[in-house]
Structure 1
Amino acid sequence: MKWFAPIPLSIKLPLLAAAMMVLVGTVASQQVLRALAQVQDARIQELARMHVEGLSVALGPLVLRNDIWEVYDTLDRAAQGNEGRRMVLTAVADERGRVLAATDPRRVPMDSDIAALAGDAVALDDLSVDGASNILSLLAPLTYQGRTVGQIATELDVADLLSERRQALLYLIMGNAIAIGLLSCVGFLSIRKMLQPVTTLARQMTETKGEPHPIPTSIIPRGDGELARLARTYNSMVGAVAAKAEAERRLAERERFVALGRLSSSLAHEINNPLGGLLNVTDTIRSYSDRPEVVRQSADLLDRGLRHLRDVTRATLDQNRIDPETRILKLDDFEDIKLLIQPEVSRLALELEWSVDPDAVTQHSVPAGPVRQITLNLLLNACTAAGQTGHVGLMAHSKDGNLSVQVTNTGLGMPETALDRLLGDGPLSPGGGVGLRLVREIAKSMGGTISHAHEEGVTRIVVSLPASGEVSNAQE
């Protein structure tokens, strides 16, 4: 029945109904034909009984006298009567079974054995129109005044009865076929109309692009039936999904600002320290303006400090600028990420291990913005998890044709709530940000995967991104 499974439900049900109707029609037709056969058998038995009884009354004295000519004359007159059209042949024999007369003397000669004619003959009560032959043979005793004086053999033509039976069968087949066809069409249209909400629901769940759309109220069945409740439940689920997506979007925006706040604080700390040194340099230049070598060294130190501050500021602008076009990831993007994470590393006195394969970056055409966002978010979380004097690492290389970005850190490992945000698709639990969930959503939109492991005190998160990944505008 594997071929039956892919057939739509709106066709399965009419087919099953048609099959049931065929079964019922077949049983009903058999009952009708059986009843017709019983009526025909009763008619032919009654006709044969009247024929035999009439001949017994008329031929009894004649057979006793052995009056052959009177017997023949009586048979001839009986053959010319109404029943003669049914009785195609009648033969009368004496007690010894010797034929006295027959309606067809050539076929049944006088003084022949009547057993030769009645080879397939049956008794009166066993007479039945079975359809095997158009001619029925009957052999009955010739009784006169309670005494059997001879035998009567008769052949009956039942071709009209068989034709009537075949005609009835043809009418039954045609009637059943027409009824099944009409009722199947009506059933198909009715079931298809009844299943219209289910069809609409399936189309809404499979054919809509992006977010799901609710079923229009105008096509939801009236009342409180199963299909109406199903459609309303689906619309409620669509509303809940839309509300959840909106809430996650707002949380993502909030987390973005929180991350920017953390980054700004770290940058302010990083910039404030060099500024103090630069102010000292300016004081040195003012104090020793008459000493060219001191001024030159101070100018060089001032130049390096200002360039450092410029690089930090530029990297921050590049990270937070909304580009109208998707820019392909380059090796400089990882250098910017390293520069951006350096203040947090310095503040926590972390040991940073950095390994980026230039060939892997250039060979994989992936968008720069999403990769920068994923990497920076994971590194910020890794710095927080590692704590003071911990260890944080990043490695970017090519693996199985994908760009693999691995972030490691020492610490106690990620709690269950954080793992649910990073690896799960369920609703966000109260408290905490959505930075890890944002990492997952961006990776999924690019067709990538995320794996997590915690071994020997080291937490390892690997993001595998295929080439030519794309993200939605909302996430960019």
Structure 2
Amino acid sequence: MRAVPRFRDLPVTLRVPLVMAGLMVLLGFLASQSVLSALGRVQDARLSETARLHVEGLSVALGPSVLRQDVWEVYDILDRARSAYDGQRLLLSIVADERGRILAATDPRRAPVGEAVAGFEVNAVPPDAIRMTGDSTLRVMAPLLFQGRQIGQIVTELDVTDLLTERRNVSMWLLFGNAAATALLAFGGWLAVARILRPVGTLVLAMDDSKGAPRPISEADIPRGDPGLSRLILTYNRMTTAVESRAEAERRLAERERFVSLGRLSSSLAHEVNNPLGGLLNAADTIRTYSDRPEVVRQSAELMLRGLSHLRDVTRAILDENRLDRIGQVLRREDLEDLKLLFEPEVSSRAQSLTWKAEAGQDELARFPAAPVRQVVLNLLLNAGAAAGQNGIVGLSVAAEQDRLAIEVTDSGPGLGQADLDRLLASGPLPPGGGVGLRLVHDLVRGLGGEIQHERKDARTYVRVILPMKDSSDA
């Protein structure tokens, strides 16, 4: 189940309208409560005034009739009062004597004469205390006063359905009005923020380009009316130019390092080519001199075949190392053999001892691209050979360890200096000078997602490269 994103993780083009909508909802709620509260006070005042006038008018008119216990006169006064005030609002009016017995009512069936009025006093309140409670009917109870003396009671039942409908309609209009205003302001806020932040969106899209590298923003998309954003985008464009320049410089350095590596081997390779050539010339001279002796010709031809095969292997290894179109090829065991063939003359020229253990299988090697791995191994071997010196010891081990490929180069030299360690292990800027071989190893290993480890132990230097394995299709 996908987790709901947190508010702070939402884009600003959504956060600002949502904040505006939230504030509008809060403001609308407070305004609605204020309006409904004011409406309630007005309605309560109207009800209280209606009930007070009704009771006071009845008190003046009913006094003598109640004293005489004149039921018909009391009923006539109640009937005329209902017509005079609000016949639709006054549902029932009851007059009781001082003993609490009903004298007359506008609806004799509901309130028969002689019945106790106590049953109608439930939930009844004085006129000054009447309030809208949500019920459609309200009851008001007041003493019947005549010449300063209480001679009975008046109970009135009021119909407030219209007032409840009015309050409900006002609430609905407030709800719809607030919702419309909130939606309108939220949409307006989204449009405004989206327009303001459009250059920022352009900047984000440029940084997230599908090609994997940031691209510059065209002049037409730079907001001239906003100096801050203009400076930001111009700075970004300068940064992309610098990134492109650096990438081009690194590419050229990598190409140069390939030639430098072969240049460092040129002297040894010259001997490796020259030695078979001498034997080939001797074999050719022997064939020419003893052309009539088949056995001598056969032996000389076999010698020439072995020499030419060796020259072919050396030439192929040099060409493979110098080719620029190996990016799409996977690493093979033959690549490691080529590196050994290239490096052995360097070892022989210094009378060094070489230990070579390529134990990784073809399936594991095929998960890596050939060109960068070859370059890493060759550069480390050349540095190890130079460090080991005359009669030194150099070793290479290539082994698969679970989901990793471990490449370890050892030498018996004095060890790497601090400057060389910085070039091999550090990622920060470096001072000029010192060559690019070790830094190229660092950059290639980082590009392959690997790591480099260094250890000095038992008068030996160990440089270990750990590369994570990928699917062969990704190599």
TM-score class, shorter:
0.7 to 0.9
Q: Deviations over 1:56-112 (max 9, x none)?
A: 222223333444333222222112213233212112223332322222223222233
The residue that corresponds to 1:158 in the other structure is 160
CA distance in 1, matches of 2:178, 2:69: 58
The residue that corresponds to 2:133 in the other structure is 130
Q: Indicate which of 52, 55, 72 corresponds to 1:52.
A: 55
CA distance in 2, matches of 1:220, 1:325: 38
- Give the drift of 1:137: 0.6
Comparing 23-32 with 325-334, which one deviates more in the overlay? 325-334
| Contact persistence 1:367–1:468 (CA under 8 A) | no
- Judging changes above 3 Å, is the alpha-carbon distance between structure 1 residues 429 and 253 closer, same or farther for their aligned structure 2 residues? farther
Structure 1 counterpart of 2:104, which letter? A
| Contact persistence 2:331–2:373 (CA under 8 A) | yes
The residue that corresponds to 1:474 in the other structure is none
CA distance in 2, matches of 1:194, 1:391: 67
| Contact persistence 1:393–1:407 (CA under 8 A) | yes
Q: Deviations over 1:100-154 (max 9, x none)?
A: 22222232222332222222211112101111x2111111112234333322111
Q: Indicate which of 96, 103, 107 corresponds to 1:100.
A: 103
- Give the drift of 1:351: 1.9
Q: Which runs of 5+ in 1 are unaligned?
A: 472-476
Structure 2 counterpart of 1:434, which letter? V
The residue that corresponds to 1:408 in the other structure is 410
CA distance in 1, matches of 2:319, 2:15: 62
The residue that corresponds to 1:238 in the other structure is 240
| Contact persistence 2:445–2:452 (CA under 8 A) | no
CA distance in 2, matches of 1:422, 1:29: 70
Structure 2 counterpart of 1:34, which letter? S
Comparing 201-210 with 371-380, which one deviates more in the overlay? 201-210
SS of the aligned residue for 2:223 comes to: coil
The residue that corresponds to 2:123 in the other structure is 120
- Judging changes above 3 Å, is the alpha-carbon distance between structure 1 residues 450 and 387 closer, same or farther for their aligned structure 2 residues? farther
- Judging changes above 3 Å, is the alpha-carbon distance between structure 1 residues 461 and 210 closer, same or farther for their aligned structure 2 residues? same
Q: Indicate which of 356, 363, 379 corresponds to 2:381.
A: 379
CA distance in 2, matches of 1:397, 1:186: 63
Comparing 45-54 with 366-375, which one deviates more in the overlay? 366-375
CA distance in 2, matches of 1:246, 1:333: 27
CA distance in 2, matches of 1:367, 1:152: 104
CA distance in 1, matches of 2:89, 2:261: 109
The residue that corresponds to 1:33 in the other structure is 36
Structure 2 counterpart of 1:234, which letter? Y
Structure 2 counterpart of 1:113, which letter? A
| Contact persistence 2:144–2:150 (CA under 8 A) | yes
- How many residues align? The count is 459
CA distance in 2, matches of 1:89, 1:216: 82
SS of the aligned residue for 1:84 comes to: coil
Comparing 455-464 with 85-94, which one deviates more in the overlay? 455-464
- Judging changes above 3 Å, is the alpha-carbon distance between structure 1 residues 308 and 75 closer, same or farther for their aligned structure 2 residues? closer
CA distance in 1, matches of 2:112, 2:324: 120
Comparing 316-325 with 253-262, which one deviates more in the overlay? 316-325
The residue that corresponds to 2:390 in the other structure is 388
SS of the aligned residue for 2:408 comes to: strand
- Judging changes above 3 Å, is the alpha-carbon distance between structure 1 residues 66 and 226 closer, same or farther for their aligned structure 2 residues? farther
Q: Indicate which of 169, 179, 182 corresponds to 1:180.
A: 182
Structure 1 counterpart of 2:361, which letter? A
| Contact persistence 2:327–2:370 (CA under 8 A) | no
The 5 A counterparts of 1:62-461 are 62-131=65-134, 133-224=135-226, 227-268=229-270, 274=275, 312=314, 315-322=317-324, 329=331, 331-357=333-359, 360-361=361-362, 364-365=365-366, 368-400=370-402, 404-443=406-445, 447=448, 449-456=450-457, 457-461=460-464
The answer to whether 1:3 aligns with 2:4 is yes
- Give the drift of 1:46: 0.7
Structure 1 counterpart of 2:82, which letter? A
Report percent identity of matched pairs: 51
SS of the aligned residue for 1:83 comes to: coil
| Contact persistence 1:251–1:433 (CA under 8 A) | no
TM value normalised by structure 1? 0.81
CA distance in 1, matches of 2:102, 2:225: 85
Structure 2 counterpart of 1:52, which letter? V
Q: Indicate which of 12, 15, 18 corresponds to 2:18.
A: 15
Q: Deviations over 1:276-305 (max 9, x none)?
A: 9889989x99xx99xx9xx99xx89x9688
SS of the aligned residue for 1:59 comes to: helix
SS of the aligned residue for 1:80 comes to: helix
- Judging changes above 3 Å, is the alpha-carbon distance between structure 1 residues 218 and 123 closer, same or farther for their aligned structure 2 residues? same
- Judging changes above 3 Å, is the alpha-carbon distance between structure 1 residues 280 and 122 closer, same or farther for their aligned structure 2 residues? closer
CA distance in 2, matches of 1:368, 1:402: 16
SS of the aligned residue for 1:78 comes to: helix
- Give the drift of 1:266: 4.1
* RMSD of aligned alpha carbons: 3.9
CA distance in 1, matches of 2:281, 2:396: 36
- Judging changes above 3 Å, is the alpha-carbon distance between structure 1 residues 199 and 406 closer, same or farther for their aligned structure 2 residues? same
Structure 2 counterpart of 1:351, which letter? S
| Contact persistence 2:408–2:462 (CA under 8 A) | no
- Give the drift of 1:16: 3.9
Q: Deviations over 1:399-441 (max 9, x none)?
A: 4366544322123333444344444544444222222333344
- Give the drift of 1:326: 5.3
CA distance in 1, matches of 2:316, 2:89: 117
- Judging changes above 3 Å, is the alpha-carbon distance between structure 1 residues 117 and 363 closer, same or farther for their aligned structure 2 residues? closer
- Give the drift of 1:38: 0.8
CA distance in 1, matches of 2:22, 2:80: 56
- Give the drift of 1:160: 0.8
- Give the drift of 1:172: 1.2
Q: Deviations over 1:325-371 (max 9, x none)?
A: 956655554444233223432343322212334x7248743555444
- Judging changes above 3 Å, is the alpha-carbon distance between structure 1 residues 90 and 413 closer, same or farther for their aligned structure 2 residues? same
CA distance in 1, matches of 2:231, 2:146: 84
CA distance in 1, matches of 2:5, 2:470: 40
TM value normalised by structure 2? 0.81
Structure 2 counterpart of 1:238, which letter? T
- Give the drift of 1:39: 0.6
- Judging changes above 3 Å, is the alpha-carbon distance between structure 1 residues 344 and 49 closer, same or farther for their aligned structure 2 residues? same
- Give the drift of 1:49: 0.9
CA distance in 1, matches of 2:47, 2:350: 114
| Contact persistence 2:350–2:391 (CA under 8 A) | yes
